Amino acid sequence: MSEAAAGAPAGSSLPKHAMLAVDAGGPASGSTVKVAAAVHARQFVAQVARTGSPVDELTGAVDPDATVDGLVSTVEPPAEANGAAAAVVPDPAGLTALRKEAEKSASELATAQKVLDKRTSDLKASNDALTRKLRDLAAAETELTRMRRPISDLVELVYQQPVGDGVISYLTGDVTAEMLRAQSDASVLAQANQIQMDAVAKVYADKQRLAAEAQELRATNLLAAAQVEAEVSTLTKRSEKVVQSLTKALVKLGIKIDKVGRAAFACNPLRIDATKDYPNGLIPKNILCPIQQRGHLLRADAAIAFVSLNEAYTRHFGKPICVTDAYRTLGEQQSVYYRRPGFAAVPGRSNHGLGMAVDLCGGVQSGGTPQFRWMEANSKRYGWFHPDWAYSNPYEPWHWEYDPEIDSLR
């Protein structure tokens, strides 16, 4: 089989969010807001669990250098919190529809997981920025403490040298330089004290504002994260349900699957990436899906598509597709290559080694037959095709490959 000319390629719980502890110093304590947010989150999770409504995409990445006001404004609850609900998708009945629904569920689940990851990242960035702001406030308070020392010394000096009788001295005309200096110090003390009070008031107001913003930010993020977590949970359950239905449908069609073993993995079209972890021809057979033709294996998506193709073929011809070969190990590829030089791909480059090619018989192996012409006309509807190189140099009508990109059911 000359696949060399074809150039065949070689072959997901909610994170624990760190909560930023802030001493509000005001009437609304952090624990009160946290409890209220948790209650709202639980209520929202229950609502989503009942309605199954999807989550809207959360946008607005947090700028770590932004002001706290900016951070609070960018972390808004998603629009879905207003109660918009998605239409209920009916359970598909056919095998091909099940596969399509499983892939759709996987896509939705991947999208929701990305939203959840983004929410986690935004929450961390928000809390990091607030931590920096609070650290700056702590530094400012330390500086105020340092600045208070000269004023405290001056207060102590005036206390030790009172100027209470200065007015009498003015009235009697008995004013000394020391009295004037003491009165001047008292005036400076009053001005410095006012400046100090203004600065302390500003720092206190800033701290109160930041504490309130931190509480609001935590509550908003807690609610939004709960919404996304609920959506991920809903989609995960939906995906699992579809895969279970798909497995049952395969079993009914004669696929020999251990329903408590590899059925949840080998024939799951959402797990095909596992096969990409292995070189061509070295994919463990326990992660490949069997087809109706005994002893033959394919990658999960290719196998499910082939089963659908086989059902259509059987309805037309009254008997299933004849298969001589499907997945080939590297050793099997080497054996075929040495036995039939020029008619097989270089070992390690065959689509058979990826579980994405079959060799057929029962009439399909001969070009121009009704079976071959039917395959040409119908196979692409199921993602299977006869590659261009197999029409000549050499001519191999028996060789067919799977390509998910041309699968009309996707």
Contacts by residues 87-92 (CB-CB < 8 Å, ≥ 24 positions apart): 88/52, 91/241, 91/245, 92/242, 92/245
Question: Mean of the pLDDT values across residues 314-319?
Answer: 94
Lowest mean pLDDT among 82-86, 157-161, 171-175, 185-189: 82-86
The string of pLDDT tens digits covering residues 336-393 is: 888 887 777 888 889 999 999 999 999 999 989 999 999 999 999 889 999 999 998 7
Give yes or no for residue 260 having a pLDDT over 60: no
Give yes or no for residue 2 having a pLDDT over 70: no
Measured CA to CA in angstroms, residue 406 lies from 10, 306, 312, 372, 380 at distances of 19, 14, 18, 19, 7
Looking at residue 144, its pLDDT comes to 67
Question: Mean of the pLDDT values across residues 127-150?
Answer: 72
Q: How far apart are CA 374 and CA 397, in angstroms?
A: 12
The string of pLDDT tens digits covering residues 165-200 is: 554 554 455 556 665 666 666 676 677 777 777 777
* C-beta atoms surrounding 371 within 10 Å: 21
Residue 104 half-sphere exposure, CB side, CA atoms within 13 Å?
14
* Tokens, residue 365: 């192996």
Looking at residue 198, its pLDDT comes to 76
What is the reported pTM? 0.52
Give yes or no for residue 78 having a pLDDT over 70: no
Question: Mean of the pLDDT values across residues 101-119?
Answer: 78
Q: Does 257-406 carry CATH code 3.30.379.10?
A: no
Give yes or no for residue 34 having a pLDDT over 60: no
In the predicted model, what is the mean pLDDT of the chain? 70
